[in-house]
Homo-oligomer: A and B are copies of this chain.
Amino acid sequence: MVTNLHFARDTSNNPVRLFCGATADGHSAELMRLFNRRVLGFTDNSTLLVEGGECQGVYYVREGWLALSKSLEEGKTQIIDFALPGDIIDPAGADGATSSLTMEALTNGALSTMPYRHWEALTGDWPELHHLAHRMESATQARRAGRMLRLGKGTAEMRIAYALVEFCIRIAPVRDGEYCEFHIPLTQQQLGDYVGLSSVHVCRTMRRMAGKGILKMRDHMDIRVLDRQSLASLAGVDMVALKSEIIPQ
């Protein structure tokens, strides 16, 4: 019923974005074996591809980062959301059979998946899980709505500040009095695809923020937020309120 899978960052230019294969929890040797044997995945607007395991259904991310994106024919891509460990992903469209999103592995990782009917049965039988899933769903909605607002109405600075505040909340352990520090496995191009900016402008904007002493960057997206207040103000949010809005429980 539940299938455990590994995924790996795609270092080639292969159009299949998400690699997965049925396997018990394992290590990278196992991953490599699967790699050489067969890759599975699904692409924008096409039926989910399944082989050697039940890939079609709800995904639970156990480890690693995934990007959920959509693209135009011209090749422009918008990252709709990132899926982080603990997140539940339901990429289906209204027909339940085709994915409305493309999944791309940003790091190596692992996930579990289960067919929709099983997921529905499970949540139906288990009220606590149902409730949790509902909260997580709400969190996802709220997060995307916040970003949508900035996409439509915010400046470059606000969009990036908001994304960074989001990362602070989602991945950085909060310790009062300390800097919020984290690594994001993204290129500036990908960050731009997330916030609707060109990579060039992402660079300029972040550099300007660094110049103002709001944050500090080290090799490939190691970010330390020096001034959380200013960042939140640029983003146009209250960090505490946003946290309760986008983090379940």
Interface set of A (CB-CB < 8 Å, partner B): 45, 70-73, 76-78, 80, 90, 92-96, 98, 100-101, 116, 120-121, 123-125, 127, 130-131, 134-139, 141-142, 144-149, 151-154, 193, 195-196, 236, 241, 244-249
- Tell me which of B137, B148, B149, B154 contacts A137 (CB under 8 A): B137
Mostly, the A contact residues are: helix
What separation, in Å, do the CA atoms of A145 and B100 have in the docked complex? 8
Number of copies: 2
Is A245 within 8 A of B100, CB to CB? yes
User: With A145-B70, A148-B151, A236-B72 in contact, do A94 and B139 touch (Cβ < 8 Å)?
Assistant: yes
Cα A227 to Cα B76 in complex, Å, equals: 26
Tell me the smallest distance from the CB of A115 to a CB of chain B, in Å: 12
Alpha-carbon distance A80/B143, docked complex (angstroms):
12
With A124-B130, A134-B120, A241-B45 as known contacts, state yes or no: A93 contacts B151, CB within 8 Å.
Answer: no
A230 to chain B, nearest CB (A): 15
* Contact A148 B146, beta carbon cutoff 8 Å: no
Partner of A94, one of B130, B138, B148: B138
Additional 5 contacts, C-beta under 8 A, given A70-B146, A77-B153: A80-B145, A80-B148, A123-B130, A124-B127, A137-B137
In the assembled complex, which residues on chain B have CB atoms less than 8 Å from the CB atom of A149? 70-72, 78, 80
Residue contacts A-B, CB under 8 angstroms, 11 given: A45-B241, A70-B149, A93-B244, A94-B136, A94-B247, A100-B245, A124-B125, A124-B127, A151-B152, A152-B195, A152-B196
Do residues B138 and A246 form an inter-chain contact, with CB atoms below 8 A? no
Contact of A148 among B78, B136, B141, B247 (CB under 8 A): B78
B135 with A96: CB separation less than 8 A: yes
Task: Give every chain B residue within 8 A of A142 (Cβ-Cβ).
Answer: 93-94, 100
